[in-house]
Structures are given as C-alpha cells and as structure tokens.
C-alpha cells in the first residue's frame, strides 16, 4: 500500500514531489533539533555532569548506525581507517590518449602534466598517498584504507548529494585483475547494506562507457528505485587498473617486479624502465542514500527509517498530567530507558514539559523513530505502557497494555523492531520486481517508461543510440545489471534499438 502511494506521488508534477521532499527533510531536521535539545536538558537536570552534546544535524546523527554496520564488515576484509585526499577523476581525453600510448612514448611527460587535476599537483592526490604508504610498508600489497565524511543538513539536497560522499574506500593492488574483483566485491557490499540495513529497492550494475568515471577501466553503480520509473545512484565502485598511477607519475609511486615502492621525494617521476604500476580500486557510499531512504520509506507524516539505521529506535514520551506524580513518572521513564539501553536499543526520552502530547508524537514521526512508548498516569499504576509503531500509522499501529517488566518489555521491543526491518526488506524486494519490466523492442521500452516503470532489455547500442533513446523517451541507460536474467545465458537476442546481437540486458529509467 505504501509503495503504491509513493508511486502515485512521484508521477505527479515534479514541483509537487520536490516540495514534499523538501518539507519532509526540513521537518526532520527541525524535530531533531527540538527533541535532542529537550533530551539534553532533561539529563542535565537529573544527572550530574550533564549529557554528551547531540549531533548538530539530523543527517549527522544517521552516521553512527551507518558507520557501525559498514565498518564491522570493512574491518573484517582488511580495511584500515585512514585519512586521504578524495579521488578526483582524470581528464577524459588524457585517459583515452594514455590507453593507446606506449609507456615510452615521447608524449608521456606532456600527458603527465596535463592529467593532474587542478589543485592536486605533487603529493596531494589519492594515488600519491597510497604510493607513499606502500613505500613505507616495503611495497607490500594490497593496501586497503577507508574514511568517513561528516554529513550536514545539505546532504538531504538531492541535486548536490550526488557529488557528496558519506564514506569512501580505496585499495592498491599488484595487478588489475585484483582491483577489478575488489571493485565488484565493494559494490556487492554496498548492495547488501542497501537491502539489509537501509531496506532500499536497489539494482547493482556496470555503468556504460559513456557514464563511467573518467580514467577508470570499469565503473559499477548501485541504483535505488524510488518509484515513478525514477532511479537514484546511492553508491559506486571503480576499477582504475593502473591508469591513474601510470598517468600521475608526477605524484604517484611505482612498483618494480619485487614489489618495492619507488617514488621521488621531490614529487618528480623516476626514470621509467621495466617497472610496473600498482592498480587501484575506489568506491564510495553517496549522501544521496539519505534522500533514497526518505523517498522510499517516507509518507505524509514524515520519515520512516528502518530500525537498523534509525539513530533513535525507541522514543519514550511521558504523558504529564496535572494530577500525576511527576517525580514517579520521571523515575519510571528513566527506568525504562535504562532497561532498553542495557539491551542495546537506541532509546531517548522526550523530557518536554509544555505543549500537548500530539506535538511530541508528531516530532517523533517526523524523525522516523520506529517505536514510541507512551507512558501515562494509568500506565504508571498498572506497570504497563502503550507502544506505537511508526510503520503502521494511526490507531492500528498501537499496542496497549504492554508490560514494563524488564524481560517482557525488551522481548516485545526487539520483536517489533525485527519485524519492522524484515517487513521493509521484503517490501523493497517486491518493489524491484514490480518496478522493472522486461522489454524486447524500443516500442515496448517507450511504453514502459511512459507508465512510470523501468525497462530492462537486450542492448548492444552505441553511445549515440543511448542519446537517441534519451531524447525520445527521457530515459537513460542506468546500468547493465550484474544479475542478468537466465534467458540471456547462451541465447541469441537482438538489441532493442540497434538490431545487433546483444550479449546482456541493460536497465533504462529516469534518473532523479
């Protein structure tokens, strides 16, 4: 039901959907500021020493759950947290020239100079940083490093979010095959994260040459399907082979056959001989993931965050009444918070004393808190509470008479959080099946796009054909899905546009 409402919203005029998104993200930031300020004041009144400062923005509060999920898996495969310059793409013409040039070409020095991005000469580039690290490690490869970037309120802006990163990871390998395998593994990791933790309907695929990162051998993308035949890139991974190290000799290290790193301290390239260059892999999780979650899960009341990534999983709202014992109410709210926090639940108490309860309920919904515990005078006497479920708005999502006994409360809360996460994952998988339609001709592709779906069909066209399809339908070639249909295995299929024989299918849709 919620997905159908989302599709209906996104096929309305674009100004209306943009206004809805702007209102939802702005309201979430405002509710976060009010709620965290109230929570901090309440703790300062009740505990000596006060509370830790709350994140400045709601977007930044989302980083801890994101980072916790990914870092555990990155550390398992050998990534080390380090700071390094953000990767900048090479010049397209320079990269193309390098691909067809000999290492000993007389134009090599000119290419090296012209391929340095502005402001990144000498040692101030990713390739140079990894070269120095490899040299310090005695040339031992692979070398893996990752870093996080702090999001801010502007991370909700879809227009600029595509250029912003929440997390990026890079690796240096001895040979290009390992870099290629690692790039595919990283896009697979991001796909697992998007499906399991963010509960997003996503498709992982290889970008066409026309949309690949300049200078990369192969680029992969993760497209989130946000309804109305629209898609949003939320992650990418690139196999750079040795293109960057070969072209950026002015700031990149070289590896000889024994694996020792050779880089000039002055930043100038060493004399080339029979040396080989290390291959690179670069990947990143984009800030557009925040917008993807808002579009995929939000409703007219605000955000609906998956429990795995919600900064606050449970909001306790004491219902203060002029006849109730406020001291006993505060003590009970603190007890429930301590019980849930000890069980690993991210919980917060709304200590605001003034204003109707509906205002606090609304702020909780706008921030996308999965569960809200309402504690009133009658609940205090009966040692029970009411639990409201965010993913089931209205009276149907409320459970009354829930015991506040520690074991019973923890079991109930964890069961409801697990149920919500599972339901959202299944809904995301169903959304992919519903949104993607297989086509075999350009006529069918145009019809599917006009109906607000994404089209998947055999493709062997040129970049010019991609442009022609976009001009006629408004849909772009998003990617070549990594999970190809079984019908393509060993069969003969005709490209839906060019008429040539196609070996794989491509996904077409409207980029957001």
- Within 13 Å and on the Cβ side, how many CA atoms surround 236? 24
Confidence of residue 52 (pLDDT cuts 50, 70, 90): low
Ordered structural domains, the chain, with CATH: 64-295 (3.30.930.10), 312-420 (3.40.50.800), 436-511 (3.30.110.30)
Task: Please write the tens of the pLDDT for every residue from 10-43.
Answer: 333 343 467 888 888 889 888 888 877 776 666 6
**Within 284-325, where are the H helices?**
288-297
Task: Please write the tens of the pLDDT for every residue from 97-110.
Answer: 544 543 444 443 44
Dist. CA 165–CA 157, nearest whole Å: 13
What is the SS3 assignment for 56-87? CCHHHHCHHHHHHHHHHHHHHCCCEECCCCCC
State the average pLDDT over residues 151-172: 79
For the cut 50, the answer to whether the pLDDT of residue 392 exceeds it is: yes
Instruction: Find out whether 508 and 445 touch, Cβ atoms under 8 Å.
Output: yes
Residue 370 CB burial class (10 angstroms; 0-12, 13-18, ≥19):
buried
Confidence of residue 265 (pLDDT cuts 50, 70, 90): very low
Tell me the C-alpha to C-alpha distance, in Å, between residue 145 and each of 68, 74, 142, 217, 248.
16, 9, 10, 20, 20
Q: Which residue has the tokens 């697979």?
A: 188
- How far the first Cα of the chain sits from its last, in Å, is 22
451: Cα separation from own chain's centroid: 27
Q: Is 275 helix (H, G, I), strand (E, B) or coil?
A: coil
Residue 267 CB burial class (10 angstroms; 0-12, 13-18, ≥19):
middle
Instruction: Find out whether 195 and 424 touch, Cβ atoms under 8 Å.
Output: no
For the cut 50, the answer to whether the pLDDT of residue 125 exceeds it is: yes
Residue 3 CB burial class (10 angstroms; 0-12, 13-18, ≥19):
middle
Task: Please write the tens of the pLDDT for every residue from 72-97.
Answer: 999 998 999 999 988 888 764 554 45
Torsion of CA 256, 257, 258, 264, to 10 degrees: 0
Task: Please write the tens of the pLDDT for every residue from 478-490.
Answer: 999 999 988 766 6
Confidence of residue 257 (pLDDT cuts 50, 70, 90): very low
Q: What pLDDT is recorded for position 45?
A: 58
- Within 13 Å and on the Cβ side, how many CA atoms surround 455? 28
Dist. CA 441–CA 493, nearest whole Å: 11
Task: Please write the tens of the pLDDT for every residue from 420-450.
Answer: 999 999 999 999 999 999 999 999 999 999 9
Most confident of 112-126, 148-162, 398-412: 398-412
Task: Please write the tens of the pLDDT for every residue from 231-243.
Answer: 999 999 999 998 8
Q: Give the number of residues written for the chain.
A: 512
Confidence of residue 115 (pLDDT cuts 50, 70, 90): very low
Write out the H or E segment, with its range, that includes residue 4.
helix 2-10
State the helix-helix crossing angle for 406-435 and 288-297, rounded to 10 degrees: 90
Task: Please write the tens of the pLDDT for every residue from 401-424.
Answer: 899 999 999 999 999 999 999 999
Choose between 6 and 208: higher pLDDT: 208
Confidence of residue 397 (pLDDT cuts 50, 70, 90): confident
Task: Please write the tens of the pLDDT for every residue from 197-238.
Answer: 999 999 999 999 999 999 899 999 999 998 888 999 999 999
Dist. CA 313–CA 346, nearest whole Å: 5
Q: Is the dihedral of CA 411, 416, 421, 427 positive or negative?
A: positive
Confidence of residue 352 (pLDDT cuts 50, 70, 90): confident
Q: What pLDDT is recorded for position 10?
A: 38
Task: Please write the tens of the pLDDT for every residue from 321-351.
Answer: 766 777 888 889 999 999 999 999 999 988 8
Dist. CA 62–CA 311, nearest whole Å: 6
- Omega prior to 142 cis, within 30 of 0: yes
- Report residue 296 as tokens: 């995929």
Tell me the C-alpha to C-alpha distance, in Å, between residue 450 and each of 293, 295, 453.
24, 20, 7
- Report residue 39 as tokens: 């929570």
State the average pLDDT over residues 65-74: 93
State the average pLDDT over residues 455-472: 95
State the average pLDDT over residues 247-266: 43
Of 178, 121, 191, 188, the C-alpha closest to 144 is 178
Q: What pLDDT is recorded for position 394?
A: 60
Tell me the C-alpha to C-alpha distance, in Å, between residue 496 and each of 223, 269, 469, 482, 505.
22, 48, 11, 19, 10
Q: What pLDDT is recorded for position 477?
A: 96
Of 119-123, 291-295, 373-377, 476-480, the least confident: 119-123
Q: What pLDDT is recorded for position 35?
A: 79
Share of the chain above pLDDT 70, in %: 77
Q: What pLDDT is recorded for position 488?
A: 67
State the average pLDDT over residues 246-258: 49
Instruction: Find out whether 122 and 267 touch, Cβ atoms under 8 Å.
Output: yes
Dist. CA 281–CA 357, nearest whole Å: 51
Q: What pLDDT is recorded for position 11?
A: 39
Mean pLDDT of the chain, nearest integer? 81
Instruction: Find out whether 150 and 60 touch, Cβ atoms under 8 Å.
Output: yes
What is the SS3 assignment for 220-251? EEEEEEEECCEEEEEEEEEEEECHHHHHCCCC
Residue 138 CB burial class (10 angstroms; 0-12, 13-18, ≥19):
exposed
Q: What pLDDT is recorded for position 37?
A: 76
Confidence of residue 282 (pLDDT cuts 50, 70, 90): very high
- The DSSP symbol for 269 reads P
For the cut 90, the answer to whether the pLDDT of residue 183 exceeds it is: yes
Dist. CA 344–CA 230, nearest whole Å: 37
Of 147-151, 153-157, 268-272, 471-475, the least confident: 268-272
Confidence of residue 159 (pLDDT cuts 50, 70, 90): low
């Amino acid at each position: 039901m919620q997905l159908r409402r989302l599709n209906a919203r996104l096929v309305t005029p674009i100004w209306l959907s943009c206004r809805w998104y702007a209102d939802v993200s702005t309201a979430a930031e405002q509710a976060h500021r009010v709620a965290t300020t109230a929570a901090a004041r309440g703790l300062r009144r009740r505990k000596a020493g006060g509370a830790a400062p709350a994140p400045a923005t709601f977007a930044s509060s989302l980083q801890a759950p994101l980072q916790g999920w990914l870092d555990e898996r990155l550390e398992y495969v050998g990534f080390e947290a380090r700071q390094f310059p953000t990767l900048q793409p090479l010049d397209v013409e320079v990269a193309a020239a390098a691909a067809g040039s000999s290492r000993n070409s007389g134009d090599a020095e000119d290419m090296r100079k012209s391929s340095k991005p502005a402001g990144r000469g000498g040692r101030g580039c990713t390739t140079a940083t990894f070269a120095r690290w490899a040299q310090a490690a005695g040339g031992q490869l692979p070398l893996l490093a990752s870093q996080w970037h702090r999001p801010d309120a502007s991370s909700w802006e879809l227009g600029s979010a595509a250029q912003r990163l929440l997390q990026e990871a890079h690796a240096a390998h001895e040979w290009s095959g390992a870099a290629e395998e690692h790039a595919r593994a990283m896009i697979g990791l991001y796909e697992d994260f998007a499906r399991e933790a963010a509960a997003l309907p996503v498709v992982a695929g290889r970008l066409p040459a026309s949309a690949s990162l300049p200078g990369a051998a192969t680029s992969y993308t993760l497209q989130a399907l946000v309804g109305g035949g629209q898609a949003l890139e939320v992650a990418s991974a690139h196999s750079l082979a040795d293109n960057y190290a070969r072209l950026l000799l002015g700031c990149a290290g070289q590896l000889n056959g024994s694996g020792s790193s050779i880089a000039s301290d002055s930043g100038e390239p060493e004399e080339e001989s029979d040396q080989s260059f290390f291959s690179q892999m670069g990947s990143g999780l984009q800030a557009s993931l925040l917008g993807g979650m808002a579009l995929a899960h939000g409703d007219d009341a605000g955000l609906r965050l998956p429990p795995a990534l919600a900064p606050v999983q449970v909001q306790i709202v004491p219902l203060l009444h002029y006849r109730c014992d406020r001291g006993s109410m505060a003590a009970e709210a603190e007890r429930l918070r301590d019980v849930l926090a000890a069980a690993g639940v991210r919980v917060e108490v709304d200590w605001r004393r003034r204003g109707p309860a509906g205002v606090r309920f609304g702020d909780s919904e706008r921030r996308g808190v999965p569960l809200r515990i309402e504690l009133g005078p009658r609940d205090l006497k009966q040692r029970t509470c009411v639990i409201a479920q965010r993913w089931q708005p209205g009276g149907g999502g409320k459970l009354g008479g829930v015991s506040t006994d520690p074991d019973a409360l923890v079991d109930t809360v964890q069961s409801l959080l697990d149920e919500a996460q599972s339901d959202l994952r299944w809904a995301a998988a169903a959304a992919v099946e519903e949104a993607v339609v297989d086509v075999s001709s350009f006529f069918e592709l145009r019809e599917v796009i006009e109906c607000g779906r994404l089209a998947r069909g055999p493709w062997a066209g040129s970049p010019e054909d991609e442009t022609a399809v976009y001009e006629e339908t408004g849909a772009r070639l998003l990617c070549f899905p990594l999970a190809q249909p079984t019908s393509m295995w060993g069969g003969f299929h005709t490209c839906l546009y060019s008429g040539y024989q196609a070996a794989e299918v491509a996904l077409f849709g409207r980029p957001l």
